[in-house]
Amino acid sequence: MVGLAKILVVEDEAPIVELLRFNLEKEGYRVIIAYDGHEALNKLRENPDLVLLDLMLPGLDGMEICRRIRGDAATSRLPVIMLTARSQEADKVLGLETGADDYITKPFSPRELVARVKAILRRATMEASPELEVIRAGPITLRPGRYEVYVGDRRQDLTPKEFELLRHLVLNAGKVLNRDYLLDKVWGYDYIADTRTVDVHIRYLRQKIEADPSNPQLIETVRGVGYRFRELA
Ligand code: CA
């Protein structure tokens, strides 16, 4: 989502609009513009992923727009970064009180602005997608989105299939998952394969996460059925 995110820039000063547009488009974002408060409310219907909102605007000011964004169920979780003039120290606090996620004072460095935009979008993506949250079980830590697994503090890189396989086992720790279930969850209905595919990937996975792959302690084989991730305290 980050690379293709749509950003609504609400700003009445054309040179700042162009500076923002140039720097955001360079990063691959799509940019839509509103030059005043009423236009901003209209452009919100285009479902932006983030709003860069100037505080001092003709018509409705940034505070009022932010309040309306938060007050509308359709946009209440939309990330908002306030742009404020450097002298308006009080506005910083007010900007946060109205529910802005962050604020940036003018003049700003484009690089810092882009970094903030990225950070806020990343956070919003994580919150919207609980499946991207870190998963822990015994010595295992899974970091979805990166296909990384840590065994204790030792990192192992998994292939996407190995990762998905482990994720399903860990999320169902203590339960036996049969091969058909795993094949379906990890490879999908379309994939033409037999259940030995699962066994092969379990073997790779054990080589990466088990202290002794020939005597697995984490992923148990349940003969004739499938696999179980051992429930660990
Ligand atoms: Ca302004």
Give the end of a domain, one of 80, 97, 128: 128
Same domain, 119 and 193: no
Strand 30-34: give its sheet, edge to edge. 30-34, 6-10, 50-54, 80-85, 102-106
Same domain, 144 and 169: yes
Same domain, 163 and 214: yes
Distance 61 CA to ligand 1 centre (A): 9
Q: Do the Cβ atoms of 155 and 114 come closer than 8 Å?
A: no
Distance 3 CA to ligand 1 centre (A): 27
Same domain, 122 and 148: no
What is the residue range of 148's domain? 135-229
Mean pLDDT computed over 176-186 = 89
Tell me the residues surrounding ligand 1 (ion) with CB < 5 Å. 12, 54, 56
Same domain, 12 and 116: yes
Number of folded domains that form the chain: 2
Could you tell me the CATH number of the domain that includes residue 222? 1.10.10.10
Distance 28 CA to ligand 1 centre (A): 25
Cα separation of 221 and 198, whole Å? 12
The DSSP result for 14-59, as a single string, is: HHHHHHHHHHHHHTT-EEEEESSHHHHHHHGGG--SEEEEESS-SS
Distance 60 CA to ligand 1 centre (A): 11
Could you tell me the CATH number of the domain that includes residue 89? 3.40.50.2300
pLDDT band at 202 (very low <50, low <70, confident <90, very high): very high
Tokens at residue 89, please?
């120290």
Same domain, 119 and 143: no
Distance 58 CA to ligand 1 centre (A): 8
Average pLDDT in the chain: 86
Give the end of a domain, one of 128, 162, 192: 128
**Phi–psi pair at 204, nearest 5 degrees:** -60, -45
Same domain, 21 and 122: yes
pLDDT in tens, 159-173: 888 998 999 999 888
pLDDT in tens, 51-95: 999 988 988 988 889 989 988 888 888 999 989 876 555 555 555
Give the end of a domain, one of 128, 162, 193: 128
Same domain, 201 and 146: yes
Same domain, 28 and 113: yes
Distance 56 CA to ligand 1 centre (A): 4
Distance 4 CA to ligand 1 centre (A): 27
pTM over cut 0.85 = no
